[in-house]
Structures are given as structure tokens and as C-alpha cells.
Amino acid sequence: MKSYNSFQVAQNQIRKASSILNLNQATVDLLSWPQREFAFTLPVKMDDGSSQVFQAYRIQYNTARGPAKGGIRFHQDETVDIIRALACWMALKTAVVDLPLGGGKGGVVCDPRRFSERELERISRAYIRASAPYLGIDKDIPAPDVYTNPQIMAWMMDEYETIIQRHHPGVLTDKPMQIGGTEGRRDATARGGVITVREACKTLKLDPTGTFAIQGFGNAGQRAALLHQEMLGGGKLVGVCDSKGGLYNPRGIDVKELVTYKLKTGSVLNFPGAKAVHRDSILELEVDVLYPAALENAISHLNAKDIKAKIVCELANGPTTPEADILLNEKGIHVIPDILASAGGVTVSYFEMVQDGTLDFWEEHVVHARMDKKLTKAYQTVQEAIREKKVHPRLAATIVGVARIAEACELRGWV
């Protein structure tokens, strides 16, 4: 498998979009690099009394449209280039959905599975002590990401409020409901993806109740399976996989039973309602909709020729390589790129910020309706760019995002 530097991929996407938009060189240079980068060394006491030192980062990619927004990851393989790329894509994502936010990302280089709950709390609080001067509802608003969760956000918010000595709940999003979280956040990423699939089915005049497959059956994959059937009036899940294996049943797999089984056993392996298959084969099933919801670079030049889905809805970050984008487009496969397909999460995070600021909390149906309106409009805007610029969907979405960020930079007099 060819090795990809995620940040170089993101920079190339920015430059291609900038070229089509005829942006001046100063603007291209500005958008090709983060505005601010912070690196921290976090000394943390372990339960046995020893100290361990962790490397950590926070990157604010662009704040022309508003304060930075993006998750914090706890992962042993974190690198500054991965965080740069993710921060860049967050800036594009908030612009594509037309939120008044920029893009950011952060991370701690650690394997959180090795630590106790108390040790995780100390790591979380140490991160905020290091980064607090650069955070705030008018500066940078983190959220959970890989191996972080609402409980970690609660610890981080508490540490931040302890430092500034006042309530400031909007500084972190995807918190528990009891301390300023919002209705509709748990399934927001998957729900946003299904909304874009619904719109794609309208565009392609495709029956939304056809077949679908899901690569990756974690939180987003499970919720996408349930919501696909609930929101689109049906649909037959014929293939699914997680990190341990895959399942296939052309007659359909009972989604609710599979989710229950996965939550109970930790894997889809040996589920009695389907035949075991190699996990990679799920990507190549002949289905109406494929949801890549696991690893980056899952669809590459090696397997793109074997993809048979009519619609590919990217719930994962970067599941398709640049070469595969071209191949899928040549095959007439309709890709809904990640910066659009997975934008439901940041959209509802923005709603959480609004509610925290006004102390007026919305009912779940209001959150769903407002997100639907945002994602539907964003999908239509990207479709217009595809038709106008005659480019593949990811480049079209990047063009929309880059154009909006560049306009804000120009209006501010930065370029």
C-alpha cells in the first residue's frame, strides 16, 4: 500500500481548488499552512506514584470565519502532520456547511487503553492547563475525537472553568447533557451522512430503500445502519465489517439485532444472521450505498476499480485516496466526501455552543430539523460546484470551502 502524508494530501487539495478559483499566491500560501501551532509537554502523575511525560498539540488552522473548532485525539500514533491535516479539513468542513467557525485539531500522544480512569482524568486536565490561554468560545472550541468522549470533555471543561474562575460551558462541546450538552449530538455524524445520502438519491433518481453496506461498525457505523432504515423508509443491510471480520447476507441483516450483538460481544464476528467474509470484501459489494466508516485510505488505487456501489458516503476521515477519487469519478460512482458527509457532528456541536451561550436548550426534533436544513443546503451547494466547475465531488466541496475561507481572509485585509 502506498504511504500518504495526510497533510501533503490536504495541501494538494487546497492548491488544486485555489488554482480553479484563480486565487492569488498570497492567499494560496496562507491557506496551505496553519495559522497557529502549539506543542506542549505534559508531565502527569500515574497511579503508582511515578511520573510520565506526554507530547501534545493544538493546531488552529484558520480563524478567518470564526473561532477554531475541532476535536482532541488521544492516540499513540499521533503526529503533527496528521493533526495539521485534520485541522485543515475541519476548516473546510465548517466552511462547506457555512458555520461561523474556523478549523482546529488537537491531540495527546498516548494509548488511553493503558491507563486507569483517574490517569485519563489527569492527562485530560494537564492538557487544558497547558492549552487554556489559547482556548475559549471566541478563540478555539475543542470536542471529542479518537479515544476521547463526553466524560473527558467534562473533566476538561471543569479544569478550564477552575482556571478562569467562572462558568464557560461552551468552551468544549459534546459534553454530557447534565452540564451543557445538547440533544441530538450522539447520532449527529451518522444522521448528517444519511441526510446527504437522501439528497444524493434524489439527485441520481435512486430508490433510497435499496441495498447498503457499512465498512466499520463503531458508533458512526451502527447509527448509520439504524438511521438509514429509519430515515429513508427502509433499506437492506447486506454487508458489514469491523476490525475483526465481515458479514454478508444478500437477503439482508437485521440491523437492530446486529447492533445489540456488537455491543454485547465487541465484534460482528460469528453473528448468526450472516455468513462470515473477509472484512475488505465489504467495500466491493454491489450495493446502492456504501458507508466507509472506519480507516483512512480504505479505498485506494488498488481496489477502486472493484468498487461497485452507486453512492459512497464517507463517514470516516479520508477513507479515499487522491488516485481513487479520480478512478471512482471515472466509473460514475457518486462520492459524498467526508468534509460534507460527516459534517453533522460539527454542525450539532455549533448548535451546542449557541445553546450554552443563550441558556436556551432545544428539543431534539428542533436540533434534527436545523441540522437537516444545513446539510441539505450544503449538499446542494456542492452539487452546483460539481456542475459549474466540472470536477469530482471532493474537489467541488474543497472549492466551496476554500472560496468561503478565502473571501473572509480578503474581507479582513489579510491578503
**Which positions are annotated as active-site residues?**
105
Side-chain-facing half-sphere of 212: CA atoms under 13 Å: 32
> Any alpha helices (H) in 278-392, and if so which ranges?
322-330, 338-341, 344-358, 364-389
Looking at residue 320, what DSSP letter applies?
A: B
Looking at residue 110, what DSSP letter applies?
A: S
**Closest-CA residue to 272 (of 295, 289, 253, 244):** 253
Question: How far apart, in Å, do the first and last CA atoms of the chain sit?
Answer: 39
Side-chain-facing half-sphere of 178: CA atoms under 13 Å: 3
CA distance 342 to 71: 13
Q: Which residues on neighbouring strands pair with residue 41, listed in sequence order?
A: 55
Q: Which residues on neighbouring strands pair with residue 240, listed in sequence order?
A: 214, 247
* Angle between helix 219-231 and helix 188-204 axes, rounded to 10 deg: 50
132's CB contacts (< 8 A; 6+ apart) are 159, 160, 163, 164
**Closest-CA residue to 259 (of 212, 289, 225):** 225
Looking at residue 291, what DSSP letter applies?
A: E
Q: What's 259-305 look like in SS3?
A: HHHHHHHCCCCCCCCCEEECHHHHHHCCCCEEEECCCCCCECCCCHH
Q: CA angle, 40 as apex, 38 and 46 as ends, to 5°? A: 155
**Closest-CA residue to 60 (of 139, 1, 125, 160):** 139
Q: Length of the chain, please?
A: 415
CB 90 within 8 A of CB 62: no
